[in-house]
Structure 1
C-alpha cells in the first residue's frame, strides 16, 4: 500500500493554513517567537504567543531546495556556512533581499527568540538574531548530571524527579519562572495556571496516542506505513502541543495506523529487512527512505520522531511547572547523551525487531560513537553515513545509495 496517510496530508494542510494565518496576523505588529525544538513551547501556548520552530523551518527550506541560497546569504556576511547548518539556515531570513520568495511566503520577523545554549555555535547563532533591531533573545541553560537513570523511559512519565534529579529540576524551574516573567513584561500577556494545566493535560493526551501508535508499528509485520508519512503525522502536531487539534491529530494518526495494521497493509509488498534510521531527517532527499523497498525489500520502520514522542514527553504530576521542567531538563540527553541515548536506541531497535540500523553522523555527532558501539554490542548491524541532514554539498546521492545497497547486500541480507 503506497497511498499516503490521510493524517499526514491533513497535518501538512493544517500547517500551511496556520502559517498563512500567522503571516497575516503579523501585519498588526503583534509579538511572535522563533524557538528551538527543545524550548518550552507549552508556556508560549498558555500565553497565546504564536511561535515557529527553528528546525521545522529548516526542514521546509531544505525540502524546497533553498539551503544553499541561505548558506550563501550567511557567507556573504562573514558567518560560517559549515557549522550547525540545521540551526543556522533559518537565520538567513534576516538577510534575504526578497523574503517573499521563500517557501510558504517566507518567515515573519520575530520579536522574541528562545533557544538552549547547549554549544558555542548555537549560542552565537541566537546572538546574531538578538543583534537585529526589535528582536530579543532569551537563553536557556543546559545542565548535566553525574547520575544516569537505568531505563529512563520507564521513569519519565511519573517518576521524573528520580530520573532527572532535583538539582537539575530546581535550575530549570527557576529558568521557566524567569521566562514567564520576561514574556509577561515583553508582551503584556498574562500567564494563567488554570490554562497552563489544560495545556499540559492536552499535551500528555497527545503523547499517549503517540505511544500507542509507536507500539502498534513496533508489533506490526509487515510495516504498515512509511516513515515519511509518520514524520509529518507526528511532528506537525508536536509543534502545536497543548491544543485540541494536536491531541485529535495524534488520535487520528493512531486510528489510521490501527486500521492499516488490522487490514494487513504493507508499505512494501516484499518486506525482507526492517531498518532503523537514527538521526535527524534527511530533508534534502526524502525519497531516500523508500529507495530500497523495490531493490531489496528493505523498509525503514523507525525514526526518532515518533519514538521520542512516545517515550520522551509524558510528564504527570501535581506541580505542572516542575513537570514541564522535567520534560526539557534532560531532553537532549534522551536523544544524544550516552548512556541515556545509547540504551534507548538499543531498546527501540529490539522492540521494533530491526535487522539493521542506518546511523546519520553529522559534524556535531553528540555521542554517535557510543550509540553505534551499543547497537553493535547488541548484535545489530550499523551503517554510519557521515553527512549533514540539510547541506548536501559534501554528499553525493548516488554514492550514499550505493553505500547502503552494498551494506544491505553484504551485511543485512547476505545470500538472501
Structure 2
C-alpha cells in the first residue's frame, strides 16, 4: 500500500490550527456562523465572517467516538435522536455543559446558523438552533423544477442559467441579497462586490484542479490514491473555498496524484476489483474502506466528494451573485434527486470503470432507490447498506463486513 498523501496530512493539520485560531477569534468577540454543507459559504468568505460547516463538525464528533454523547443530549431534551443525525449532531454541542472536553475543544457557539430547508426534520433542527440565546436562524428556500437538463454536468460551468432555470436562480439570488443585508446589519462587516468576485474566481480555480484530479483517478489503473486520503484532501479545502490556501491545496493534491500515476503507484498492488462508494463518508468506521483491500483486493476508487467538486461547483460568467445562486439552487438535486443524481452516478461509474457499487442508504436519503435502479440497469452490481453514516447503533462492523464480503464473492468477483 502506498504511503498517505502529504496533502491529506497537511489539510488535516491546517484545519486543526484554523479551528484553534477560530476559538480565540470567537472568544475575542468575532461573529461565527454554522452553515450547512450545501449552503452558499462564499458570502461569508467575502465578508470575512468565520464559519463552521455543520456536517464537517458532525464528522469530527463521530470520528472521535462522541456521536452517542451528542445524540443523548438531544434525546434527554425530548428531541428525536434517530433522524437526520448528520445534521443534528452539532445541535447536541449546543447542550454540552463541558465543551472544553469535547473533540478539538468543542464547537464555539454560533451567532447565526444558515441552512436550506430541504425537509420537515431539517427545518426543525435549525428552528431549535434559532431558539437558543443570541442565535439567529436564517433559512433558505429549497426550490424544485419540473424540467431536468440532460447531462447537466456539461452545462453547469458556462450554461448554468439554462441548466438550473431562471426562476430558481431568481429566488435564491434574492434570498442571498437579503442575507448580505442581514449580515451587514448584525455583524458590522461590509460586503464588497470586488472581493466577492475574487472569491468566486478562486473557487473556480480550485475546482478546475479537482476536476483534473478526478479525471486522473478515473483513468488510472491501478488506483493511485485511497478514498480515506482523497476525502480530507478534497473536503477540508472545500470548507475554505475562496482562499488562496484552498486553491493551492487542490493543486497540491492534483500534483501528488499525477506523480503517483506516473510512477504506477497502487493503493492495493493486488487490485482485483474497483468499487464505488455512493453516499456520505462512514465517519464512525473509516477503516471500513481499507479492510476490503486487504481481504479481497477490492479498492474504493470513487466517492462523491472529489466527483462533486469536479462537476458541481464550476460557474463562469454573468453576475457573481447569480452565479453563486446557480451553484447552490440545484446542489442537492445533483446528489440526491433523480434523474439528476441517478444519471450522474451512472456516468461516474462508467468513467471510473467500476466493477460494483456499495450504496449507503440512510433513513433520510432522497432518491436512493432511483440511484440503485439506474446503476443496476447500466449493468453495475449494487449492494445497498442500510445504515447511518454517523450513528453506529444499527451498523455493526461485523455485519457490514460480512454483507460486503459475501456480495463481492457472489456478484463482483
Which residue does 2:305 correspond to in 1? Answer: 305
The alignment partner of 1:262 has SS state of helix
Structure 2 partner of 1:285: 285
SS at match of 1:286: coil
Q: Distance in 1 between matches of 2:94 and 2:407?
A: 42
The answer for the alignment partner of 1:393 in structure 2 is 393
Q: Distance in 2 between matches of 1:69 and 1:318?
A: 46
Aligned counterparts, 1:111-190, within 5 A: 111-190=111-190
Inter-partner Cα distance in structure 2 for 1:269 and 1:21: 41
Residue ranges of structure 1 left out of the alignment (5+ in a row): none
2:2/2:265 contact within 8 Å kept: no
8 Å contact kept, 2:116–2:142? yes
Displacement of 1:412: 0.1
2:243 and 2:322 map into 1 onto residues whose CA distance is 20
Residue matched to 2:199: 199
Give the corresponding residue for 2:81: 81
Secondary structure of the 2:81 match is coil
Deviation at 1:97, TM superposition (A): 1.1
Partner of 1:349: 349
Cα distance, 1:2 vs structure 2: 2.9
* Shift, 1:3, TM fit: 1.0
Tell me the SS of whatever aligns to 2:393.
coil
**Which residue is 1:65 aligned to?**
65
TM-score (norm 1): 0.99
Determine the C-alpha separation between the residues in 2 that align with 1:365 and 1:106.
28
Per the alignment, residue 371 of structure 1 pairs with 371
- 1:52 CA displacement: 0.1
Q: Please show how residues 14-33 of structure 1 align to structure 2 within 5 Å.
A: 14-33=14-33
Match of 2:34 in 1: 34
Name the SS for the 2:365 alignment partner. Answer: coil
Please say if 1:248 is aligned against 2:248. Answer: yes
- Aligned pairs (5 A) from 1:325-364: 325-364=325-364
Query: Deviations for 1:46-84, whole angstroms, at most 9, x for unmatched residues?
Result: 000000000000000000000100011111111111010
Under a length normalisation based on structure 2, what TM-score does the superposition of the two structures give?
A: 0.99
In structure 2, the partner of 1:48 is: 48
Report the Cα distance in structure 1 between the residues aligned to 2:126 and 2:373, rounded to whole angstroms. 34
Distance 2:370 2:132 in 1: 39
Shift of 1:318: 2.8
Q: Give the drift of 1:29.
A: 1.6
Helix, strand or coil at the partner of 1:393 = helix
Aligned-partner SS, 2:358:
strand
Query: Which digits, 9 at most, give the CA deviation of each residue in 1:18-60, with x for residues without a partner?
Result: 0000001111122110000011100000000000000000000
Name the residue aligned to 1:411: 411
Q: Alpha-carbon deviation of 1:93?
A: 1.1
Q: Are 2:33 and 2:113, in contact at CA under 8 Å, matched by a contact in 1?
A: yes
What does residue 234 of structure 1 align with? 234
What does 1:203-218 correspond to in 2, within 5 Å?
203-218=203-218
Aligned counterpart, 1:103:
103
Structure 2, unmatched stretches of 5+, are: none
Shift of 1:365: 1.9
Q: Distance in 2 between matches of 1:176 and 1:157?
A: 20
Give the corresponding residue for 2:222: 222
- 1:225 alignment partner, SS class: coil
The Cα offsets for residues 114-159 of structure 1, whole Å up to 9 and x where unpaired, read as 0011101111101111101110110000000000000000000000
